Amino acid sequence: MSETQTPVQGTTAAPGEPGAQELAGRYSRSMIGVFGTPQRVLVRGEGTRVWDADGKEYLDLLGGIAVNALGHAHPDVVAAMTKQAGTLVHVSNFFATPTQIELAERLLQLAAAPEGSGVFFTNSGTESNEAAFKIARRTGRPRILALENSFHGRTMGALALTHKEAYRVPFEPLPGGVEFLPAGDIAALEAALAPGDVAALVLEPIQGEAGVLPLPEGYLRAARELTARHGALLILDEVQTGVGRTGEWFAHQRTGGVVPDVMTLAKGLGGGFPIGAVLTFGEHATGLLSPGQHGTTFGGNPLGAAVSLAVLGTIAEDDLLGNVRTLGGRLQAQVSELAGRDARITGVRGAGLLQGITLAAPIAPQVVAAALEAGFILNAANPTTLRLAPPLIITGEELDSFVEALPALLDRAEQAAADTTDEKRS
């Protein structure tokens, strides 16, 4: 906690301000219930901390699901947003703005994109993947390959690329032509590509929603070689893994020499402001969409572009990539050591500050609930995996505090699971 932060755990809402119970009631009466009941009503954030409507403080180990790259209320983000809001916020894509152009150039430079590459700005990850889907369709080839356990978004095109049936089935029929392959099976990939009619292979370098599952060693390089050989696009969904999350600007850069044809971004790109991007590498991929074939009203607006430039600039200036690599290794080492002493923890996987802690029993939701009560925000990617994706500015001491608390959180989670079982039996 910084010197400017004052611990307020245990306090209540300020006089005249609505409390959590009142706000939760208003939420349930006014919102469509697609997100279920909110775990808390949050009212303020600073750095790696947030506070709820009753004044309780939490260490944010989820970062808005890998979104808040610089934490909350970062002065560089606030300054960029305030300055740009005083000049131009939105002008439509009939016009260009200096911030939009500068951001596109910066992204191409960070991605080491070759001459003839380009950027299309969106507002979210699913919208970025929709655009990538349309780029694949423009190849004229009928088939698109994705991976089992994939997650690419909730809109209809992105959902067609998403493997989980619970997400897909209620909205079928979805756009067709998508086939799912087992991640890591190079022989299956080669067989699927062999007929020569595959438009694209779409994959995440680390499958975040599936439980922080890195692609098996060698698979990404093989995917690049095979798609190039058979004339298919390699589309990398870096919505969750991009913008420094793994200790490189983009996760595929951890596999030296792999350059995709298309890359999709969002989440950390705006540090909390909604902005996404699609990068096309080389003239062939860049030329697949012609004027009038795609668009968006708000994509690349000057306010979002200014904020994104501030995020990228701060990551570079403060060497946050180095911080991510150091702390990611430290966290993995500490959790592995703890797993050697506590059989309830079976391992840890991921890269940088996208980590999944695996459990022996399916009690991850109960651990998340216990952690929230103890002042930690994380989530259960699946019943046996805890996902951590904290702000890139987090400190080693803050991560240490969670690792030290984890055995007690597991105790409480086991008791909660046992209580639930007893209630069902009775």
| CATH classification at residue 139 | 3.40.640.10
Please pick, among 267, 273, 281, 376, the residue that the annotation labels catalytic: 267
What one-character DSSP code corresponds to residue 172? Answer: P
Q: Is 47 annotated as a binding residue?
A: no
Q: Is 169 annotated as a binding residue?
A: no
Give 278's strand partners.
120, 264
- 62 falls within a domain: no
Spatial neighbors of 121 by CB under 8 A, at least 6 apart, are: 100, 103, 104, 275, 276, 277, 278, 296, 299, 300, 304, 305
Place of tokens 């860049």: 286
Residue 230, SS3 per DSSP: coil
Residue 418, SS3 per DSSP: helix
Q: Are residues 268 and 347 in the same domain?
A: no
Q: Nearest 10 degrees: CA dihedral of 239, 365, 46, 238?
A: -10
Query: Could you give the CA distance from residue 363 to residue 17 in angstroms, rounded to a whole number?
Result: 36
- 66 falls within a domain: no
Q: Are residues 132 and 225 in the same domain?
A: yes
Q: Are residues 271 and 349 in the same domain?
A: no
Q: Are residues 107 and 254 in the same domain?
A: yes
Phi (first) and psi of residue 146, to 5 degrees = -135, 175
Q: Are residues 206 and 346 in the same domain?
A: no
Q: Are residues 310 and 347 in the same domain?
A: no
Instruction: Tell me the CA end-to-end span of the chain in Å, nearest whole number.
Output: 45
Q: Are residues 179 and 222 in the same domain?
A: yes
Examine the residue annotation and report whether 76 is marked as an active-site residue of this protein: no
* Whether the bond into 175 is cis, omega within 30 of 0: no
- 293 falls within a domain: yes
**pLDDT attached to residue 2:** 37
Which of 289, 269, 288, 341 has its CA nearest to residue 77? 269
Distance of CA 345 to the CA centre of its chain: 24
Please pick, among 52, 54, 76, 237, the residue that the annotation labels catalytic: 237
Q: Are residues 219 and 350 in the same domain?
A: no
**pLDDT attached to residue 426:** 63
pLDDT (tens, 9 = 90+) of the chain, 426 residues, equals 333 333 334 445 566 688 888 898 998 899 998 888 889 999 999 999 999 999 999 999 999 999 999 999 999 999 999 999 999 999 999 999 999 999 999 999 999 999 999 999 999 999 999 999 999 999 999 999 999 999 999 999 999 999 999 999 999 999 999 999 999 999 999 999 999 999 999 999 999 999 999 999 999 999 999 999 999 999 999 999 999 999 999 999 999 989 999 999 999 999 999 999 999 999 999 999 999 999 999 999 999 999 999 999 999 999 999 999 999 999 999 999 999 999 999 999 999 999 999 999 999 999 999 999 999 999 999 999 999 999 999 999 999 999 999 999 999 999 998 887 767 776
**pLDDT attached to residue 8:** 38
Examine the residue annotation and report whether 237 is marked as an active-site residue of this protein: yes
Q: Count the Cβ atoms, other than its own, within 10 Å of residue 313.
A: 13
Query: Could you give the CA distance from residue 67 to residue 45 in angstroms, rounded to a whole number?
Result: 14
- 201 falls within a domain: yes
Structure tokens at 300: 């690349």
Q: Is 3 annotated as a binding residue?
A: no
Q: Count the Cβ atoms, other than its own, within 10 Å of residue 107.
A: 25
Q: Which of 266, 287, 317 is the last residue of a domain?
A: 317
Residue 143, SS3 per DSSP: strand
Q: Is 253 annotated as a binding residue?
A: no
CB-count burial class (<10 Å; 0-12, 13-18, 19+) for 35 = exposed
Please pick, among 121, 133, 151, 250, the residue that the annotation labels catalytic: 151
Q: Is 346 annotated as a binding residue?
A: no
- 42 falls within a domain: no
**Domain extent at residue 339:** 332-385
The angle formed by the CA atoms of residues 409, 415 and 421, to the nearest 5 degrees, is: 135
Q: Are residues 230 and 350 in the same domain?
A: no
Q: Are residues 196 and 93 in the same domain?
A: yes
Phi (first) and psi of residue 24, to 5 degrees = -65, -40
Here the contacts of 21-29 (C-beta below 8 Å, separation 24 or greater) are 23/53
Q: Are residues 189 and 224 in the same domain?
A: yes
**pLDDT attached to residue 13:** 57
Q: Which of 317, 344, 359 is the last residue of a domain?
A: 317
- 258 falls within a domain: yes
Examine the residue annotation and report whether 424 is marked as an active-site residue of this protein: no
Residue 349, SS3 per DSSP: strand
Q: Is 297 annotated as a binding residue?
A: yes
Q: Are residues 191 and 239 in the same domain?
A: yes
What is the crossing angle of helices 302-317 and 75-85, to 10°?
Answer: 150
Q: Which of 263, 288, 317 is the last residue of a domain?
A: 317
For the chain, what is the domain count? 2
**pLDDT attached to residue 291:** 92
- 151 falls within a domain: yes
Query: Could you give the CA distance from residue 222 to residue 364 in angstroms, rounded to a whole number?
Result: 34
Taking phi over 0 as left and psi of -120 to 50 as alpha, with beta for the rest, 22 belongs to: alpha
**Letter for the amino acid at 408?**
A
Contact 61, 377 (CB under 8 A): yes
Q: Is 26 annotated as a binding residue?
A: no
- 140 falls within a domain: yes
What one-character DSSP code corresponds to residue 270? Answer: G
Q: Is 190 annotated as a binding residue?
A: no
